[in-house]
A and B are shown apart, each in its own frame.
Chain A
Amino acid sequence: MATLKELTKREPALASGHRMCPGCTAPIIVKLVSVAAQKPLVISSATGCLEVSSTIYPFTAWNSSFIHNAFENSAATMSGVEAAYQALRRRGKLKDEFNFIAFGGDGGTYDIGLQSLSGAMERGHDMLYVCYDNEAYMNTGVQRSGATPKGTYTTTSPVGKVQVGKKEFRKNLTEIMVAHRIPYVAQASPSHWNDLVRKVEKALSIKGPKFMNVIMPCTLGWAFPSDMGIEIAKLAVETCFWPLYEVENGAYKVNYKPKEMKPLTEFIKLQGRFSHLQKEANKNIVDELQAQVKREWEDLLAREKMTAPATPAATQ
């Protein structure tokens, strides 16, 4: 992996001067992802915060080629770009080599863009799809998505007299992508920058479709002070709410195993979107969430064990 010193010398694809919120962790993720790449990039983005805040005509914050098409088709659009690359290289019309990275938020990836993503991954395009998962539709003002955790306040899953935030558990997109049997799937967090950069480096070294799901604390939608984003991302990892792991050719590796799993309340108590969960009356929801985290963590460890490469002793 490139050293921190080397990384700081590389120019990120996203320049300063974009209009993301102060304290937003998306630009951190995008910059880390882009400095991990060694070849020129073509980047696509679904409609969303990242796109609207970085490309307000006549300005662009992108140093690399960048395309925004629509909300649900970042992956399909990039599959066309990659197909063009294959065709033009084959026909001798293009000499430069590129890496292809598609971005989408959780709305554009878990929900409206899931089909487009699934198709592009199944077709085997040589591209990395990165979901920056802030667990709701933030660009339109914090509405619930398939990535929103149970019990979370959003503007469409309000805390009312008969309903306490979102009624359903979030779906596990990373596992859905693992089920595509693509060469590389990983989960990462901007709090663990070296892990994230190493994963992008690894992903880009593999030819074919790759997927990374990166948690992205949102100061607006999660309601925390703008200097707390990385701290909260770190707690997501340490509570095992967002485990860091990778799946290479079907083999799981959990990259961070806390000596002791921090209670989920550590993560919850810092965020306004969960403030109602501090009340005694809603303790059952916290318990459910905690149980879910525990169940999924154990499940993940079991998968790691199950898919571990056979040891010499085992093969005898």
Chain B
Amino acid sequence: MAKFEALTGNNAVAYAMKQINPDVVAAYPITPQTSLMEKFTEYVADGEIDTEVVLVESEHSAMSATVGASAAGARAMTATSSQGFALMWEVVYIASGLRLPIVMPLVNRALSAPINIHCDHSDAMGGRDSGWIQLWSENAQEAYENMIQAVRIAEDPKVLLPVLVNFDGFIISHGVENVSLYDTEKVRNFVGEYRPKHYLLNAKNPITIGLLDLTDYYFEHRRQMADAMKNAYGVIGAIADEFKKEFGPSYRFIEPYRMDDAEIAVIGLGSTMGTLRVVIDECRAKGIKVGSLKIRVFRPFPDEELARLVSGLKAVAVLDRADSLNGISGPLFTDVRSALYGKTAIPVSDYVYGLGGREITLDNLRQIVTDLGTIAGTKKAPRESTYLGVRV
């Protein structure tokens, strides 16, 4: 039986980690992730779980130790935010390249400079080509449930790629919500035992990990990663089905809202998608046929599903809580427009918002719906991003 508890997002994710009870967790403090590992180490200190905790001296070492533990044959995790993710960047790529099924909550926060502790998605977007699967959460409940599914996705033999579980810094990590928590036995059964095929701590079959791969093999190994990422489509779907059967909630790659007869739609990810639904309901009441598409799985990118969902619409807008600084748009827009190219000719516009924790207001979102109405008429989207709620 599920029980409800008022928890912050960080505590909900720490609770998921407690239920999963990984063999090894490496921890290093960084705002706004800190309270997650504080809570987790509390469980260990109280003897509720017996995870080996490695309290490292940097995030670079956090990911390095997690890689070592995972390669050794353990189920291993760490968690971070922002600069921490940036510091471990080198080893983030090694984790996926070595095909280690590490799960890492990333409590999304802006990147320096200027230094800022509040939410945006620059950290995760910096890792979008790193070979990590990326799940995104709208609230603490989703962060909790994404964690449980992430372990299965990462460890699936057809995948063997690390998974990032994203949730918005402070907004989700520190906001208190009523979270439905599942029975620990059920969660453990769902997650199962980790049984790696090859690992270091096998005296009978010693292995070498992290070899020098030159012009004759490197390309094939990178290609295998691309195949694994494609395999993840099927695996993520199958695990979501299993999760639904076991626990109830339905997870998809993209969650549509009021899309059945929609003419225009807003696409985005993270906590803002909840705020957006308020605006959509309001607009719907006025007769505006608008819906939203919340992207839960950003890597692998659900391009075909997205194209199917927007086909027949008159215009779509993308919400980007990060900027690519490429002279054109934010990163989500690039993927969305690329997914639609050749499949539909509808105009796609981009809105960069909320950098460094800047509030996104209902009025900001209303403006997008108004703009979409105009664009649907003119069939022409602006070439460049609109920056929402920023002083000129």
Instruction: Mark each residue of chain B from 80 to 124: 1 if its CB lies under 8 Å from any CB of chain A, else 0.
Output: 000000000011001000000000000000000000000000000
Q: Are B60 and A76 in contact (CB under 8 A)?
A: yes
Q: Is the CB of B201 within 8 A of A62?
A: no
Q: B209 at interface (Cβ–Cβ under 8 A)?
A: yes
Number of A interface residues in the complex (CB < 8 A) = 46
Chain B CB within 8 A of A96 CB: yes
Question: Which A residues between 54 and 95 are near B, CB-CB below 8 angstroms?
Answer: 55-58, 60, 62-70, 72-73, 76-88, 90-91, 94
Q: Which residue of chain A is the closest to B66 with respect to CB atoms?
A: A80
**In the docked arrangement, what's the CA distance between A279 and B251, Å?**
76
Query: Quick check: B207 and A84 within 8 Å, CB to CB?
Result: no
Q: Does A122 contact B (CB under 8 A)?
A: yes
B310 to chain A, nearest CB (A): 41
Residue of A nearest to B58 (CB): A115
B26 interface contact, C-beta 8 A: yes
Closest to B71 in A: A67
The residues of B that contact A118 with a CB separation of less than 8 Å are: 57
With A77-B64, A83-B24 as contacts: A91 and B50 at CB distance below 8 Å = yes
CB-CB < 8 A to B60: which residues of A? 72-73, 76, 116
Contacting residues, chain B, for A106 (C-beta < 8 A) = none
Interface check B69, CB cutoff 8 A = yes
- A40 vs B207: C-alpha distance when bound (angstroms): 12
| Known contacts A84-B74, A119-B58; is-contact A57 B212 (Cβ 8 Å) | yes
Q: Is B389 an interface residue (CB 8 A)?
A: no
Which A residues are CB-close (under 8 A) to B51? Answer: 87
The reply to whether the CB of A123 lies closer than 8 angstroms to some CB of chain B is yes
Cβ of A25 under 8 Å from chain B: no
Q: Note all chain A residues with C-beta closer than 8 A to B61.
A: 73, 76, 79, 115-116, 119-120
Q: Residues of A contacting B203 with CB < 8 Å?
A: 40, 96, 98
CA distance A86 to B201 in the complex (A): 11
**Beta-carbon contact of B217 and A83 below 8 Å:** no
Chain B residues lying within 8 Å of A83, measured Cβ to Cβ, are 24, 26, 52, 54, 65, 68-69, 74
In the bound complex, CA of A90 to CA of B57 (Å): 24
**Inter-subunit contact B72/A64 (CB<8 Å):** no
A189 within 8 A of B: no
Of the candidates A73, A77, A122, the one having the most CB atoms from chain B within 10 angstroms of its own CB is A77
- Chain A residues lying within 8 Å of B55, measured Cβ to Cβ, are 123
A101 / chain B contacts, CB cutoff of 8 Å: none
New A-B pairs, 8, CB < 8 Å, besides A65-B200, A122-B57: A55-B212, A57-B214, A66-B207, A70-B90, A77-B67, A80-B54, A80-B65, A80-B68
Give A contacts to B, CB under 8 Å. Answer: 40, 42, 44, 51-52, 55-58, 60, 62-70, 72-73, 76-88, 90-91, 94, 96, 98, 115-116, 118-120, 122-123
Question: Could you jot down 9 A-B contacts, CB within 8 Å?
Answer: A42-B200, A44-B68, A57-B212, A65-B206, A66-B200, A69-B64, A83-B65, A84-B68, A84-B72
